[in-house]
Structure formats: structure tokens, C-alpha cells
Amino acid sequence: MQNFKNYTDYMTSPLGVIKIKASKYGITGIEFTSQKKLPSLGCRLTEQCIVELAEYFAGRRKIFNLPLDHKGTDFQNSVWSALQDIIFSETISYGVVASMAGKPAAVRAAGTALKKNPIAIIVPCHRVIGKNGTLTGYSGGLERKSWLLAHEAYYENQLSLGNN
């Protein structure tokens, strides 16, 4: 690995360009960007992330196997950790996330932590919906959230039908 503190790489996805950031300890950020693919200073970890994201978009990956390097408060980290327990193609409410993070009354704080999630898709905040089943807030935009949920539902259905 190179001797730089932070690494950045880009990939083109069905939802546009994704910027991937990593430290020597793990992935620190995955975000949708309006930038064109820029020259990158990637590493083995960002390259593996691109491979796993490509597999996800192709419907061949449901679980990611990448080390993550979150930078947040204890509560944010507990929310982000709870998100990783949401099963592929399933959705839960903000209240359930707050409970999973150990603070059932902290629904708004859980929503704020979701908004600050720096690692899109792998830390699947797109799987959190309003308690009445509506799509609410997503830093990548509701169109992307809707697409991700439909994508996962489609591939979950394909797997259960034995078509994959």
C-alpha cells in the first residue's frame, strides 16, 4: 500500500459516479457525486470496494466484506453499526433503528445519525423508511433510495425463484 494517509477512488455506477474514500484502516466514505471521474489516488482497499460495489449492482453481492473506518460519536457509531444488521432487501423504521442502537426514545437523533452516515450503500441507511412505509430522507436523493430498494427487492426475488 502507498504511504499516504487518505485514499480516494471513483467508480461509475447505475446511479452515477461514486466517490470512495479510505484510510489505512478501512473505508471512510462512499458518496454519490456530481463530479466526473477524477484522477484518483486509490489503494488495494478502494479497489476491493469498487469490485464489491460492482458485484452489488450486478445482483451478485448482498453482504460486503470490507473493513470500515467510521468517524462519529458513540451514538452515531451505534446507529451505523445497527444499520449493518438490516437484511438485504428488508426495510425498517427510524424507531427500530433507535431501539437497535440502544436508545428507543432517540428517534430524531437516529435520523440525524443516518443523515451523517458517510458510507452509503455498505452502511445501508437507504433501508430505513418512515414508520408509515414512506420513503423519507436520503443524502443521495430519494430517487436513488427508491432505486436501491427496488434493485434489492428485484435480486432478492430472483434469488428466491432460483434465477441467480
What is the share, in percent, of the chain residues with pLDDT greater than 70? Answer: 91
Residue ranges of domains in the chain? 7-57, 74-160
Residue 161: band (very low, low, confident or very high) from pLDDT cuts 50, 70, 90: low
**Residues tagged active-site:** 125
Task: Tell whether the model's pLDDT for residue 1 goes beyond 50.
Answer: no
> What's the CATH number for 74-160?
1.10.10.10
Total-model pTM? 0.89
45 in helix, strand or coil? helix
φ/ψ of 74, rounded to 5, equals -55, -45
Separation CA 40–CA 83 (nearest Å): 29
> What value does the mean pLDDT take over residues 92-104?
95
Q: Tell me, what's the pLDDT at 143?
A: 94
pLDDT score at 156? 84
Helix/strand/coil for 33: strand
The H-assigned helical ranges of the chain are 44-57, 74-83, 94-100, 107-115, 142-160
> To the nearest whole percent, how much of the chain has pLDDT over 90?
76
Q: pLDDT of 106-160, one tens digit each?
A: 999 999 999 999 999 999 999 999 888 888 888 888 999 999 999 999 998 775 5
**DSSP summary character for residue 93:** E
Give which of 77, 24, 63 is closest to 46, Cα–Cα.
Answer: 24
